[in-house]
Chain A
Amino acid sequence: MTAPSPTSPPEIDSSGRLPLFILFGGAAFWLVLSSVFGLLASIKFHGPGFLADSPMLTYGRVYPAWANLLVFGFCIPAGLGVGLWLLARLGRAPLARPWLIAVGAKLWHIGVFVGLLGILSGDSTGHTWLELPRYAAVILFCAFVFIALWAFATHRARADRDLHPSQWFVLAALFWFPWIYSTAILLLEVFPVRGIVQASIAWWFAGNLLGVWLPLVGLAAFCYFVPKLTERPLQSRYLALFAFWTLILFGTWTGIPSGAPLPAWMPTLSGAAAWLMLVPLLTVAVMLVQTISGAKTPCAGGPLCYVKFGTWSLVLSGVLLAVAALPQVSRVTEFTWFNHAENALRIYGFFAMTMFGAAYYILPRVTGAEWPVARFVRGHFWCGVVGTLLLFAPLAIGGVVQGARWLNPEITPVDVSKATLMFLRLSTLGDLLLLLGNLLFLVNVFALIARHCRAMVRVLYADAVAPLEPSEVKP
């Protein structure tokens, strides 16, 4: 196959306009909605009677609505948007069939919407991180595969034959999700296996989704944007290769919690994998430090700040995961807010922040226009940072307090709740700040898209009413 001649970056960017609008626009919308559910869930701990009379808004439905909108509504479409753009840019080829990708993206959002209604009306599957009911899961799966196929077609048509590390990460992510999701849906929902094996599969899925898929996509952005934004070469390709291999080799084994009622080798293996995951994460830390050292570009609340904060959050969340896998620690932290804190750090602190950074870089290039409210970019950064920390730190500490109280049989359940109340109050503040930051993102993205569409309509209109040139008139 002879390589086609490279396309210029602006042409590549404009080829992805429609699909990226749909992916990011929808992602921003679900993110805000997810934050609203997160806030509702959090408020319920202050007054358990809050909105308790509506079955749709009971805690046990609002909480999974938060989690699933966050991961399936925001993380995956945003990750796909960044991944598609990276594949096109790095391959120097325009996106293949942007219209069809746009259809796939729409389909994905429809799947999320259907799934949300399912959860709220009581159709959740009952497996954590997999609550979206079967009928929604099938839509999501098809949409993903559809988008992934065109992403792969884009990659095949690339002009630059060499692979950049970001491309490994994106390609692996495109492969990973359909496999883990199809296994989970088939064996849990379509032909359900019996008994505790279900839990094992659900844990395996969640470990691969949060522990491998999110890092794969986030690190793809990391490998591209950190060198780009600091104007320095990536340090180094070999470290990236090493991080890639160790991440997929070890990360895929991390999901089983340490006290799971499964044969003992399974949680033990997962615990060991959590420790081994420190290898890729520390590698990434070294890559970050070496790449940015000596760089003169200030990050100034822009994309670089986001990616840096995201990377450090990933490293910290990996350390927490490893520590919590020690039996002495998990005795206390298992079944507490600690796990929620670790997830929040991984999803908000690492993944969402990295995706925001990437989106703030990509979308203006795709539209060829600046952000409508440039101030919001920096505002969003600080809301994100403070919000993540206020969510994460109190819940991590609160989780330890909660776990230690449960270990003392003298303390009643009511007193255990009482002991965590102060931490939950602080975390509600974090939820509020995150909601605010996400709103700023939504406003900016929607305004950018709206402005672009208006300009396009104006051009079309001008074209339509322009007087015909004599040469265009056919006899």
Chain B
Amino acid sequence: MKSAALVFLAAFLALSASWGGFVLAPQLQLGRGAQAKALITEDLYPLARPGLARQGLEIYRANGCMYCHTQQVRQEGTHVEIYLTEGGTNAAGVLAALQRLSPALARSETLDSLPVKVVEVEDMVAADRALKTLKDAGGKAETVIVPTGADLARGWGRRRTVAQDFLYDQPVQPGVMRIGPDLANIGLRPYDADWHYRHLYAPASVVENSKMPPYRYLFEKRKAGAEPSPEALKLSGAAAPEDGYEIVPKAEAKALVAYLLNLRAEAPLFESPYTPPPASAPATNAAPTTAAVP
């Protein structure tokens, strides 16, 4: 190449192509994003975060939680589960069908504790076959779509994270690094605000050997009055303040925890469907949340 103009032209062509691809195209495809209807419930999703949670997002950003936590649940596939919901009138026939599908369940007690998960299969064809077997025998059955993958098995969510989940965040913080667990659905896990306060103040006092840094500066240590403040953290051991003092969350900590509790990307969507298991099914069958109980 003999002139600067040619170099600039080359650079212009190359860069404008990727600009079109990765800046303009997603903006056209997703940028005008609006709320979507969730499957099954038909609720609008996502909802804007309440004010305090929005402030919490700023605390999360300012303190760089995203350098250790992602908000991107990955999914490797789905499988289909068949639940028997009603035994019908032909108990013998249903038991025979169960014998074929899942011999361990072919006992008359099974029919007393419905619904029960009968089989897990990989695709809809196999699911339809199993469904037909149960229905032909006179039972009532339901299919349930369950996303699978290591992240989901850890109880980090019900489905993968999709673009829709970030609609109202400013800035979006999907994160790049997992020193700690994914937080896309931390609000769905069985932790209350109190747990979060204690965890932020002194992670190792709640999770043994935790490598998460403490965020004591989001809390205030002050002299306790005659009555301990209802806000005071219930700390014990090395994390507890000396007698006569108490630890209370500052406004930043309250906002941050409100944000954490608001992180719940669970609505089943067209692009990442799943079905919750039948109402009275024991949670362990499909909802992996219990895996995360500390």
Contact = CB atoms under 8 A, between A and B. Distances in A.
A248 B153 CA distance: 41
Interface of B: 1-4, 7-8, 10-12, 14-15, 17-19, 21-23, 26-27, 29-33, 61-68, 70, 72, 74, 76, 150, 153-154, 160-181, 203-204, 207-217, 291
Contact of A256 (B22, B167, B181, B217): B22
A409 B291 contact: yes
15 contacts: A58-B64, A127-B171, A155-B4, A167-B4, A171-B7, A194-B167, A196-B172, A198-B170, A199-B166, A208-B18, A263-B26, A263-B29, A331-B74, A340-B177, A417-B211
Given A163-B3, A417-B179, A252 B15 contact: yes
Given A48-B210, A187-B23, A248-B11, A253 B68 contact: no
Interface of A: 44-45, 48-49, 52-55, 58-61, 63-64, 122-128, 152, 155-156, 161-163, 167-168, 171-172, 175-176, 179-180, 183, 187-188, 192-201, 203-204, 208, 241, 244-245, 248-249, 252-253, 255-257, 259-263, 266, 269, 331, 334-337, 339-340, 402, 406-409, 413-414, 417-418
A52 B216 contact: yes
Given A59-B213, A417-B179, A195 B169 contact: yes
Contact of B22 (A171, A253, A337): A253
Contacts of A59: 64, 67-68, 213
Given A48-B203, A406-B150, A406-B178, A197 B30 contact: yes
A124 B59 CA distance: 11
Contact of B209 (A193, A340, A414): A414
B18 A252 contact: yes
A45 B214 CA distance: 12
Contacts of A331: 74, 76
Which of B61, B212, B213 is the most central at the interface, judged by chain A CB atoms within 10 Å of its CB? B213
Contact of A413 (B64, B66, B72, B180): B180
A196 B22 contact: no
Q: Which of A59, A152, A200 has the most CB atoms of chain B within a 10 A radius of its CB?
A: A200
B176 A339 contact: yes
B15 A176 contact: yes
A45 B211 contact: yes
A256 B22 CA distance: 9
A161 B5 CA distance: 13
A249 B21 CA distance: 13
A276 B157 CA distance: 35
A261 B64 contact: no
Contact of B173 (A54, A126, A155): A126
Contacts of A122: 62-63
B171 A48 contact: no
A48 B212 contact: yes
A161 B170 CA distance: 49
**Smallest CB-CB A-B distances: 4 pairs:** A60-B64, A122-B62, A409-B153, A252-B18
Contact of A252 (B17, B170, B210, B214): B17
A163 B31 contact: no
Contacts of A58: 63-64, 213, 215, 217
Contacts of A183: 19, 23
B30 to A, nearest CB: 6
A52 B213 contact: yes
Given A171-B4, A414-B211, A53 B217 contact: yes
A259 B162 CA distance: 10
B265 to A, nearest CB: 10
